[in-house]
A and B are shown apart, each in its own frame.
Chain A
Amino acid sequence: MNRKPISNLPSIAIAVATVGLLLLALGGYLNPAINSVLDPFYDVQGWFYTRFQAIQDFINAPSDIARLRLENSALREENAELQSQIIALQQQVSEVELLSALLDFARARPENSYQAAAVIGRDPSPFLQYVIINRGSDDGIRRGMPVVAQEGLVGRISAVTATASRVQLITDPSSRVSVQILPTEVDGVLSGSITGDLSIDLLPQGASLQAGDLVLASGIGGNYPANILIGQVNTVRQSATALFQTASVQPVVDFTRLEVVLIIVNFQPLDLGPLIEDDSATP
């Protein structure tokens, strides 16, 4: 009889060892041993991988650079386009704000009819304070019509062509506006100057004026509608020997930055010329 238990012994031993190793591995007892084997392996693998990657980058670099440059130029172009869009949108926002402010002004005075106009130029003479606007007789603009901005009074139309008009600002040295000062309700005459500063003359000596008092068009004389804001009293000059007080005025309108104005088209200025001529003709 042949007995072969001894020949199966290695197989059984291998199986037992395998099962034992599996059990040890499952139990986590082999981790230090596995790590000590795998770590050098990973190091070697990483070394080869990085070298190979470097070589691959070196070989493919020209095409990548060209692609990156293309992408870069495309992104720059897109960036420039977006920047220009931002600027255009900012301009639109400021225009909308300006127009809505003008609309608010117009809504606050529903009795008046308005025509909006853009400022397109200024008088070339440094001694005069006039602006040119892009509305003329074709748009119903007539000489003498008052011009306002969202903050307050700007001036009046002094000359008209078919498509443009010239506006005499209230800061012009020859401009005169009848004004009323609130809360004292004192009347005076506002005049401009070469420097663009505003001052009020013919204020009664007894009137008590203070800095910060409001200055409004009084409507006297018929050149401007009443109750349009002009500015605030800045300083008051009083002299015991003078007949009247004078006051300097801080205008509410920034005349250096006028862009869009409103013309009051339903206001009829009074022409006192014939009356003055009649008076002078009377002996």
Chain B
Amino acid sequence: MLLNIVGVGLVTLSGILQVTLAPRITLLQAPADLVLLFLVAWNLQEEIEPKWYLGLMGGLILGLSSALPLWVLLLEYGLVGLLIVSIRRRVWQIPVLTLLTATLAGTFMVDSISLLYLWLTANPIDLIQILNFVLIPRIVFNMLLALPAFALISEIGKLFLPREILQ
């Protein structure tokens, strides 16, 4: 119960940082996706039961600030939550490769759905520009931050885990 509350609190915090802090630190035109990084790092912790609905929570927080419709963000991050949980269930342990794979797949999924929505609503899309300035840099940026985020979330999780689980 406590871990669920902590998870919801942290996804809210990462959503707020995503709107305020992340746009100021970009790789080319791409800010890091802090909500995605949190979802991956939290749901892949061995001691923590994965919760896919934290993705919905992240989508809700971002949907309050984004010009994209709320349902698009709920769909994006809800699917990311499901993706990470399914990866977690299929992999016995959590090596670095799984962490990076989840980050890569999650970033690609979130940005693809956004682009698909923008394309369907007749927004001008320059795919070359998007690939060069947003999509690839964002994947690289997220993967660079995945390991530190995992370590950070691991340390935060330990603060709230019951003592017998840690032993």
Interface of A toward B, CB cutoff 8 Å: 120-128, 130, 132, 158-159, 166, 168, 173-174, 191, 193-196, 256
Q: Distance (Å) between the CB of A254 and the closest chain B CB?
A: 13
Task: Of the listed stretches B88-96, B130-138, B154-162, name the one at the interface; the rest are far from the partner chain.
Answer: B130-138
- Name the residue on A nearest B138 (C-beta): A126
A124-B22, A128-B66 given; 12 more Cβ-contact pairs under 8 Å: A123-B68, A124-B35, A125-B66, A126-B29, A126-B30, A127-B111, A127-B114, A173-B124, A194-B126, A194-B130, A194-B134, A195-B129
Contacting pair A121 B114 (CB below 8 A): no
Contact A121 to B123, CB < 8 A, known contacts A127-B118, A193-B129: no
Contacting pair A121 B130 (CB below 8 A): no
CA distance A163 to B35 in the complex (A): 25
- Of the candidates A128, A174, A193, A196, which one forms a contact with B126 in the assembled complex, judged by CB atoms under 8 Å apart? A193
- Of the candidates B23, B62, B129, which one forms a contact with A194 in the assembled complex, judged by CB atoms under 8 Å apart? B129
- Name the residue on B nearest A176 (C-beta): B124
A-B contact pairs, 11 of them (CB 8 A): A120-B20, A123-B66, A124-B18, A124-B19, A127-B118, A127-B130, A128-B66, A158-B67, A168-B67, A174-B123, A193-B129
B7 beta carbon closer than 8 Å to chain A: no
CA distance A191 to B20 in the complex (A): 25
- Name the residue on A nearest B34 (C-beta): A124
Residues of B within 8 A of A127 (CB): 111, 114-115, 118, 130, 134
Residues of A within 8 A of B129 (CB): 193-195
Q: Distance (Å) between the CB of B65 and the closest chain A CB?
A: 6
Residues of A within 8 A of B31 (CB): 124, 126
Contacting pair B20 A121 (CB below 8 A): yes
Q: Distance (Å) between the CB of B39 and the closest chain A CB?
A: 14
Contacting pair B68 A128 (CB below 8 A): yes
CA distance A196 to B22 in the complex (A): 17
Q: Distance (Å) between the CB of B84 and the closest chain A CB?
A: 19
Q: Distance (Å) between the CB of A112 and the closest chain B CB?
A: 26
Q: Distance (Å) between the CB of B117 and the closest chain A CB?
A: 9
- Name the residue on B nearest A166 (C-beta): B67
- Of the candidates B20, B35, B123, which one forms a contact with A173 in the assembled complex, judged by CB atoms under 8 Å apart? B123
CA distance A171 to B130 in the complex (A): 15
Residues of B within 8 A of A120 (CB): 20
Residues of A within 8 A of B125 (CB): 173
- Name the residue on B nearest A119 (C-beta): B20
Contact A174 to B134, CB < 8 A, known contacts A122-B19, A166-B67: no
- Name the residue on A nearest B110 (C-beta): A125
Residues of B within 8 A of A196 (CB): 29
Residues of B within 8 A of A168 (CB): 67
- Name the residue on A nearest B68 (C-beta): A125
Residues of A within 8 A of B123 (CB): 173-174
CA distance A122 to B25 in the complex (A): 12
CA distance A127 to B124 in the complex (A): 10
- Name the residue on A nearest B61 (C-beta): A124
- Of the candidates A132, A159, A193, A256, which one forms a contact with B19 in the assembled complex, judged by CB atoms under 8 Å apart? A132
Residues of B within 8 A of A123 (CB): 19, 23, 65-68
